[in-house]
Amino acid sequence: MIILMQLLNQPLWLWIVTLVLFILLLWLWAMYNAFIAKRNQVKTDFADIDVQIKRRASLIENLAAAIKQYATHERKTFENVTQARSAVQDAKSPKEAAQAENFLTQTLRSLFAVSEAYPKLQASQNYKSLTDQLEKTENLIAQYRETYNQTVLDFNTMLQTFPNLLVARLFGFKEEELFVTTPADNQEVKLSSE
């Protein structure tokens, strides 16, 4: 009771300073949590892309195996498929994943160029099923890439605006990389011949 009486007898300026510090601490806490939530969303969105790229690599490998039955003399194309799949599996950052994605897209174009020489292959149910699945995966990758890049843009903007940048610097938050592909890879890949 005596302590409470002593606290109440403090000067007004001390109460104001205490209140301002309390509000500042609450704001720091809220900003820190907002940065953590947004950074975790960036990681989750990248994981979505990563899963689809790995799925795409598996589909391309299966497609290469189907084409290989018809085109045994296209060894270099099939080696590129293996290298592309390995690059996708080893990618750890958005930049590495984008580079692997670019290589995978080039490999896919080569596979379809080879498959065009084999009408029986294109008529097979396995080939059609693989190209349908591949097309769906391509669409998912594009959708997830757009979501990821928007999340990164929001996070980076949050880091760069005042007064947020003070909190970001205080706690060591860094900008995230966008998932950027080369312009040639933004073109639609022909998945089946009409």
Contact 151, 38 (CB under 8 A): yes
Torsion 10-11-12-14 (CA) sign: negative
Query: If we measure between CA atoms, which residue out of 30, 179, 187 comes closest to residue 91?
Result: 179
Query: If we measure between CA atoms, which residue out of 189, 56, 186, 67 comes closest to residue 133?
Result: 56
Query: If we measure between CA atoms, which residue out of 84, 140, 86, 131 comes closest to residue 112?
Result: 131
Residue 77 CB partners (closer than 8 Å, separation 6+): 64, 71, 107, 110, 111, 114
**Residue 5: predicted pLDDT:** 66
Torsion 50-52-56-58 (CA) sign: positive
Q: Is the pTM of this model over 0.85?
A: no
Contact 181, 101 (CB under 8 A): yes
Is 193 domain-assigned? no
Contact 44, 50 (CB under 8 A): no
For the chain, the farthest-separated pair of C-alpha atoms sits apart, in whole angstroms, at 95
Is 18 domain-assigned? no
**Residue 7: predicted pLDDT:** 66
Is 139 domain-assigned? yes
Containing domain of residue 93, as a range? 48-186
Counting the structural domains of the chain, the total is 1
Is 5 domain-assigned? no
**Residue 133: predicted pLDDT:** 94
Give 61-115 as a DSSP string.
Answer: HHHHHHHHHH-TT-HHHHHHHHHHHHHHHH--SHHHHHHHHHHHHHHHHHHHHHH
Beta strands in 9-78 (DSSP E): none
10-residue averages of pLDDT along the chain (194 residues): 69 87 95 96 95 92 84 75 86 89 87 83 86 93 95 96 93 93 55 44
**Residue 4: predicted pLDDT:** 61
Is 9 domain-assigned? no
Is 116 domain-assigned? yes
Is 3 domain-assigned? no
Is 169 domain-assigned? yes
**Residue 183: predicted pLDDT:** 63
Residue 157 CB partners (closer than 8 Å, separation 6+): none
